[in-house]
């Protein structure tokens, strides 16, 4: 049974009715960032839910989608001079 539409407030748009849309397939890849301080981070987006705003479209006529989610970040390497060693237990 499909989820029912919900009313949402979107910044710059206002109140909209939004219908949840199931994600049938997803490829969530990591993005590796090498920072100027010598550190390396890995970041991956995590999609929790996708909704389609009813009656709202982009300039090309595509429906407006709302993606709710977050991100996961892992520090994969850091130069020794940036690490804190005080107070760490071994």
- Asked whether residue 45 is domain-assigned, the answer is yes
> Region 13-35: what's the mean pLDDT?
95
- Asked whether residue 86 is domain-assigned, the answer is no
**Contact between residue 19 and residue 52 where contact means Cβ atoms under 8 Å apart:** yes
Assess whether pLDDT exceeds 70 at residue 88. no
Tally of domains within the chain: 1
- Asked whether residue 32 is domain-assigned, the answer is yes
Percent of the chain with pLDDT over 90: 84
Percent of the chain with pLDDT over 70: 93
- Grade residue 85 by pLDDT with cuts at 50, 70 and 90: confident
Q: pTM for this structure?
A: 0.73
Provide the residue range defining the domain that includes 68.
6-78
- Asked whether residue 30 is domain-assigned, the answer is yes
Which backbone phi and psi does 23 adopt, to 5 degrees? Answer: -95, 115
In Å, how far are 31, 41, 49, 79 from 36, measured between CA atoms?
A: 16, 12, 34, 11
DSSP, collapsed to helix, strand or coil, labels residue 51 as strand
Assess whether pLDDT exceeds 70 at residue 39. yes
């Amino acid at each position: 049974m499909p989820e029912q539409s919900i009313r949402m407030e979107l910044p710059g748009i206002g109140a909209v009715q939004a219908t949840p849309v199931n994600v049938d397939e997803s490829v969530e890849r990591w993005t590796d960032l090498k920072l100027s301080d010598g550190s390396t981070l890995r970041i991956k987006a995590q999609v929790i839910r996708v909704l389609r705003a009813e009656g709202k479209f982009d300039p090309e006529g595509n429906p407006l989608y709302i993606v709710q989610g977050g991100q996961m970040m892992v520090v994969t390497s850091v130069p020794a001079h940036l690490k804190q060693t005080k107070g760490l237990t071994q």
